[in-house]
A and B are shown apart, each in its own frame.
Chain A
Amino acid sequence: MAVINLWAKQGYMSTPDGQSIYFWGYSKGAAEPAQLPGPPIIVKQGEAVTINLTNNLPEPVSVFLPGQTGVKVGSQFVKPQYSGGNLISFVNYASSNGGTVSYTFTPTRPGTYIYESGTNPHKQVLLGLYGGIVVRPEDYDENTSRTAYGSGTDTEFDREYLIIFSEIDPSLHQAVIEGKPYMISKHHPRYWTMNGRCAPDTMLPDNAPYLPSQPYGAMVMAEPTEKVLIRYIGAGIDSHPLHPHGNHTRIIAMDGRLLKNGARDRSFKRFTVLVGPGQTYDQIFQWTGLGYTLDNPIPTIIPNRRNLGIGEAGWTMWSGSPYLGEKGEIPEGVVSFNEVGEYHFMLHSHSEPKITNWGAFPGGMMTMISIYPTGFLSPDVGVLSQPVGKE
């Protein structure tokens, strides 16, 4: 039995342009901060799960689990909650200022799912009360059978990444802390987030100490030919077209349902994946880059340096060489974040205004995929595990 303890709390998140934004989020410990997104819930198909929610917010909060069946509170199935005939929550909730509720269910299908508050969702989900659920297939084994949907489903992977998208309108967040009316009709996002962060923070490592409320990075790291499982979740209210430059992914499942009917493979390749509200997309990505092998570096004509897009200090992922695993010269004064001659390319929203922070490029829904030379990436990179909270 997996027991997941969540607290609903208020907190502050940071944006790269120096703002500190009030938000509501789930936390993994009584003494730990609210976080954006909430802690990922990593469980196994067929094993009972209990989610205990303690609500420290000033209004009722719930954990709604779209796509999970048989969710119960006590001995009863969860159900819409009414007060005086008015619907107030899609499912049972924890009362304000210290209330608790426990949900139990047994996930029957592997896959990627969202969890979010089903109470005042136009406010609470937009304020940050959302997170991701990964259900491992029954036969999953980290060492011997690492698949998204079970052996025989053509979903093997070497590394995996969970990326959750949303939007933030700081004015609405500010209205909540100031006790002003929350006017959803005025919703006008200024920040677009991947795992609660805006670029370039998306490329910082997990648990960066200066982002205590945004613990998850969104940089995809792999070695050539590795199978990378990328799990997307749309937690906001807009659709976002995401694509990795010059590459494509194969969508193997949507909303936690394998795209396969009997023997009929329905998976499909896409350059751009439109991530819709409340929906999830599992993709297998494999970088093979123009027939790259260790002995066959990518044939490239190096452009004149004046034609190279080399950014200001702090922005350069370029190694100075187009060859994977090699480093070359870079202009004086330019700081390169390239570690070992790895190859970086962008993964971003193709709705370009959303790769800004309040209008300033670069920012928002943008990160990098980095391909490391074979043998250079630790096996600990690209591993999802259940975070454990401190009491």
Chain B
Amino acid sequence: MATLFFSLWVKRGTVTLNNQNIPFWGLATLATGPRLPGPTIKAKVNDNIRIRLSNSFLNIKQIGEPVGLMFPGIEGVMVEEWPAGNSRPVQPQYINGELVAFTDYVDRGSIFLPKGLIYKFQAKKPGIYLYESGVKSEKQIQMGVYGIIVIKPVGYNMPGHSNYKTAYGAGTNSNYDVEKVLVMGEIDTTMHENVVPEKNYNMLDFKPNNWILNGRVYPHTIDSDNNSSQPYGSRINCRVNDRVLLRIANAGYEAHTFYFGGLTGRIIAEDSYPLVSADSDLSYEKNGITLAPGQTADVIIIPTARGEYILYDRDYNHIVNEESFPGGMMTSMVAG
């Protein structure tokens, strides 16, 4: 058990989609620019996680709005004001009786006035969890304020341990050779260019024109991890007969059907509830899975022949860039 401390800021930046630079709001550390998705938070069961979210203080690229984070699927989240304050459970926020945020948030302040909140919780069960904006979520999540928390069982990294290289511990059929987190979403370029801080954006105008996997569109999804504002590649390298664990999350506002390149996978967890236990096996096989906004699924795929497989959104209107195939929400798995 360890206490893990993360310091996050919401900053303005740009992402590149299909050779176009598009403004976005994303999560960052103090030293770096914002990321899409935000920095992946990794922990083990029993770890105490402390995430300090700061606005204004030292944040020269603040977005100009209050910021706050939600942790769907994680119970017992507490919040503590920073630099000093008492702990309390997170709760919806009202002003004059009107709901203004799903959760506690950090208001804007002057650059000289440090302001922050520390969200605190214990990692209780393994899985992947979205963390995302709880303030003007219809606007800020689309603008890029989301990321993934990966919680592993104790022993996952200890050879010889029964939980070694498992997503959910021994006996859950979740052992893997290769693991890849894939976060689905969509981006409306027009909205990104027209959003104004503190002003309502008419979400009836929301019309996405880019479909993203880990913040990128194909073919850039298959580029390697890097230090850009879109740091996470989606290409999967494995060997024949490897157990490839795909951890798929839908951070967008639309349902998407992630298709396993013609292969059949076994769904071993939904919303981070494992489907296999000592006395019951509720896992099932699929060629693709439809995930509604906010849902996650863990899938084991075992390629039995060498070669390349294209994995994609079976909503075929989402695998284009500017009307042309290929593009959008696709990636490649290469079994060597």
Chain A positions within 8 Å of B, measured between CB atoms, are 64-70, 77, 79-80, 86-88, 90-91, 120-123, 125-126, 181-185, 187, 237-239, 254-257, 259, 261-262, 264, 266, 274, 276-279
Assess whether A184 is in contact with B307, with CB atoms less than 8 Å apart. no
Assess whether B284 is in contact with A259, with CB atoms less than 8 Å apart. yes
Tell me, yes or no, whether B238 is within 8 Å of chain A by CB: no
A279 to B288, CA, bound (A): 7
Assess whether A86 is in contact with B257, with CB atoms less than 8 Å apart. no
A211 to B272, CA, bound (A): 48
Residues of A within 8 A of B286 (CB): 254-255, 257, 279
A255 to B219, CA, bound (A): 28
Looking at chain B's contact residues, the main secondary structure is loop
Q: Which 4 A-B pairs have the closest CB atoms?
A: A257-B285, A278-B314, A261-B281, A276-B290
Residue among B280, B281, B310 making CB contact with A90, cutoff 8 Å: B310
Q: How far is the CB of B80 from chain A (nearest CB, A)?
A: 42
Assess whether A69 is in contact with B326, with CB atoms less than 8 Å apart. no
Assess whether A277 is in contact with B314, with CB atoms less than 8 Å apart. yes
Q: How far is the CB of B125 from chain A (nearest CB, A)?
A: 22
Q: Given known contacts A87-B326, A261-B281, is B317 in contact with A278 (CB within 8 Å)?
A: no
Over the window 218-229 of chain B, the binary record of Cβ atoms lying under 8 Å from chain A Cβ atoms (1 yes, 0 no) is 110000000000
Residue among B284, B314, B315 making CB contact with A257, cutoff 8 Å: B284
B276 to chain A: closest residue by CB: A261
Assess whether B262 is in contact with A70, with CB atoms less than 8 Å apart. no
Assess whether A255 is in contact with B264, with CB atoms less than 8 Å apart. yes
Assess whether A69 is in contact with B283, with CB atoms less than 8 Å apart. no
Assess whether A181 is in contact with B305, with CB atoms less than 8 Å apart. no
Q: Quick one: which of B282, B290, B316, B326 has the most chain A CB within 10 A?
A: B316
Tell me, yes or no, whether B304 is within 8 Å of chain A by CB: yes
Residues of A within 8 A of B323 (CB): 181-185
Residues of B within 8 A of A87 (CB): 218-219, 310, 325-326
Assess whether A237 is in contact with B287, with CB atoms less than 8 Å apart. no
Q: Given known contacts A90-B262, A276-B290, A279-B257, is B284 in contact with A254 (CB within 8 Å)?
A: yes
A278 to B313, CA, bound (A): 10
A76 to B218, CA, bound (A): 26
A181 to B320, CA, bound (A): 14
Over the window 284-320 of chain B, the binary record of Cβ atoms lying under 8 Å from chain A Cβ atoms (1 yes, 0 no) is 1111101000000000000011111110001111011
The 13 sampled A-B contact pairs (Cβ below 8 Å) are A67-B264, A69-B305, A80-B309, A87-B218, A184-B323, A237-B314, A254-B284, A257-B284, A259-B284, A276-B290, A277-B288, A277-B315, A279-B257
Residue among A68, A70, A121, A261 making CB contact with B282, cutoff 8 Å: A261
Residues of A within 8 A of B255 (CB): 239
Chain B positions within 8 Å of A, measured between CB atoms, are 209, 218-219, 255, 257, 259, 261-264, 280-288, 290, 304-310, 314-317, 319-320, 323, 325-326, 332
Q: Quick one: which of B280, B305, B306 has the most chain A CB within 10 A?
A: B305
Residues of A within 8 A of B309 (CB): 80
Residues of B within 8 A of A122 (CB): 316-317, 319-320, 325
Residue among B281, B282, B317, B332 making CB contact with A184, cutoff 8 Å: B317
Looking at chain A's contact residues, the main secondary structure is loop
A70 to B304, CA, bound (A): 9
Q: How far is the CB of B308 from chain A (nearest CB, A)?
A: 5
Residues of B within 8 A of A255 (CB): 264, 285-288
Assess whether A125 is in contact with B316, with CB atoms less than 8 Å apart. yes
A103 to B132, CA, bound (A): 46
A258 to chain B: closest residue by CB: B285
Q: How far is the CB of A111 from chain B (nearest CB, A)?
A: 10
Known: A123-B325, A237-B315. 14 other contacts (CB 8 A): A66-B259, A67-B262, A70-B305, A90-B261, A90-B310, A91-B262, A183-B323, A184-B323, A185-B320, A239-B290, A254-B284, A261-B281, A276-B314, A278-B287
Q: Given known contacts A66-B259, A278-B257, is B305 in contact with A121 (CB within 8 Å)?
A: no
Assess whether A79 is in contact with B307, with CB atoms less than 8 Å apart. yes
A261 to B279, CA, bound (A): 12
Residues of B within 8 A of A257 (CB): 264, 284-286
A119 to B262, CA, bound (A): 14
Q: How far is the CB of B327 from chain A (nearest CB, A)?
A: 9
Residues of B within 8 A of A182 (CB): 323
A185 to B328, CA, bound (A): 12
Assess whether A121 is in contact with B325, with CB atoms less than 8 Å apart. yes
Residues of A within 8 A of B281 (CB): 261-262, 264
Assess whether B264 is in contact with A276, with CB atoms less than 8 Å apart. no
Residue among A69, A183, A266, A278 making CB contact with B259, cutoff 8 Å: A278
A187 to B317, CA, bound (A): 8
A263 to B332, CA, bound (A): 36
Residues of B within 8 A of A184 (CB): 316-317, 320, 323
Assess whether B326 is in contact with A86, with CB atoms less than 8 Å apart. yes
Residues of B within 8 A of A238 (CB): 315
Assess whether B307 is in contact with A121, with CB atoms less than 8 Å apart. no
Q: How far is the CB of A217 from chain B (nearest CB, A)?
A: 27
Q: How far is the CB of A165 from chain B (nearest CB, A)?
A: 13
Assess whether A77 is in contact with B285, with CB atoms less than 8 Å apart. no
Residues of B within 8 A of A254 (CB): 284-286
Residues of B within 8 A of A79 (CB): 307-308
Q: Given known contacts A80-B310, A277-B315, A278-B314, is B282 in contact with A120 (CB within 8 Å)?
A: no
A90 to B319, CA, bound (A): 12
Assess whether B310 is in contact with A277, with CB atoms less than 8 Å apart. no
Q: How far is the CB of B191 from chain A (nearest CB, A)?
A: 15
Q: Given known contacts A77-B305, A90-B310, A122-B319, is B283 in contact with A261 (CB within 8 Å)?
A: yes
Residue among A67, A86, A126, A187 making CB contact with B287, cutoff 8 Å: A67
Q: Quick one: which of B282, B314, B320, B323 has the most chain A CB within 10 A?
A: B314
A121 to B317, CA, bound (A): 9
B261 to chain A: closest residue by CB: A90
